């Protein structure tokens, strides 16, 4: 496997990154990684970008200080072959976490939600509704499970 490594200056954030790129056997870019002091870290942009054999981005991950993390959106985004979003994951300091919405969302066609899970600090959790929901193509839910602080509970709402 071929790879290269070099330094990049980010004048906006006043940071200097070590960037490594690995390539598929056909010469297409396979993965880019951005590090500071040996730790995955990149502010405002993904620290890991993965590409398929054709050069299409299929996975982006945001890291701060070697932990998957993003304040203003999903920290992991996975794409389908046609470029639509397959799934989004929200993380805070390395743990699935999102306040006010699901931390994991899977889409049928890039728009319609097929599956969602709510997490707080890495534990399934949602007050006032199910923490795990699966939807049919019609949009109606077909499966739900309730959790509080990582423990499955009966629907009390």
Structure confidence at residue 15 as a pLDDT band (50, 70, 90): confident
- Which residues lie closer than 8 Å to 1 by C-beta, 6 or more apart? 22, 23, 25, 30
Q: What percent of the chain has pLDDT over 90?
A: 82
d(CA 20, CA 71): 24
pLDDT for residue 105 is more than 80:
yes
pLDDT for residue 147 is more than 80:
yes
d(CA 33, CA 45): 11
Contact 90, 75 (CB under 8 A): yes
Cβ atoms within 10 Å, residue 130: 19
pLDDT for residue 12 is more than 70:
no
d(CA 102, CA 125): 10
d(CA 103, CA 89): 5
Structural tokens at position 118: 């709510």
Q: Where are the domains of the chain?
A: 1-68, 80-157
d(CA 126, CA 100): 9
pLDDT for residue 17 is more than 90:
no
Give which of 63, 18, 22, 30 is closest to 45, Cα–Cα: 63
Across 29-45, average pLDDT: 94
Structure confidence at residue 156 as a pLDDT band (50, 70, 90): low
Q: Which of 86-90, 106-110, 128-132, 152-156 has the lowest mean pLDDT?
A: 152-156
**In Å, how far from its chain's centre is CA 122?**
14
Structure confidence at residue 93 as a pLDDT band (50, 70, 90): very high
d(CA 5, CA 114): 39
pLDDT for residue 89 is more than 80:
yes
């Amino acid at each position: 496997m071929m790879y290269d490594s070099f330094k990049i200056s980010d004048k906006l954030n006043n940071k200097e990154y070590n960037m490594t790129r690995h390539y598929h056997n056909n010469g297409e870019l396979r993965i880019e990684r951005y590090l500071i002091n040996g730790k995955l870290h990149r502010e405002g942009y993904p620290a890991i970008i993965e590409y398929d054999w054709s050069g299409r981005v299929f996975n982006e991950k945001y890291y701060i200080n070697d932990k998957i993390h993003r304040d203003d959106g999903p920290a992991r985004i996975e794409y389908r072959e046609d470029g639509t979003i397959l799934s989004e994951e929200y993380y805070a300091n390395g743990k699935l976490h999102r306040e006010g919405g699901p931390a994991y969302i899977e889409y049928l066609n890039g728009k319609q939600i097929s599956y969602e899970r709510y997490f707080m600090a890495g534990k399934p959790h949602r007050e006032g509704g199910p923490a795990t929901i699966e939807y049919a193509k019609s949009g109606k839910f077909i499966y739900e499970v309730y959790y509080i602080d990582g423990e499955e509970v009966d629907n009390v709402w």
